[in-house]
Structure 1
């Protein structure tokens, strides 16, 4: 009998946090032109990720959509998402992003994450 009752997707923690450029796409559904912001990715799952930024974004009153090109493998992965939570920690600002992955790409990210876990580059939590 299978007793695994996991309802949340596996979360993969990077052994070494990964730096990449994050683009703010919209604030309150209004498109914005912004320069890329250096972000640090700490963990990721097929539904969300945890990252930090050097800037404080007020999420209490704003709906913020972001775009991220993450090079975890040879082929870059572009993902969009919505910022859901934030907290200040150790002089930087941490955010939770809910990923919005198109149906056609739903299997790609979990496959990449399983491969990286198999190579020992990320840890499964």
Structure 2
């Protein structure tokens, strides 16, 4: 990575852009919360509330590696307010699906984030 390809957008603008764009990428009935990561200006915290009976809530840390590429880390998965094992097949598929949505959101914001 070169020093030229750093994320230069202010974090508050990045958060607002994600708040506008991410809901368009999610499944019908899902909702998301996007917050600034207090320790890293190039990172966001994203909580996705999945629609459905299980009431899944997935927390992700999204960090920009440069102005285009993000790293998505699963922080926690809850069902009905309790942390659950993320290794169950259905949960792994859900995590994979939401990771893809997060990458799609970042990709759609390239015009904004790419210097």
TM-score normalised per structure 2? 0.34
Q: Please state which structure has a larger fraction of its residues in helix.
A: 2
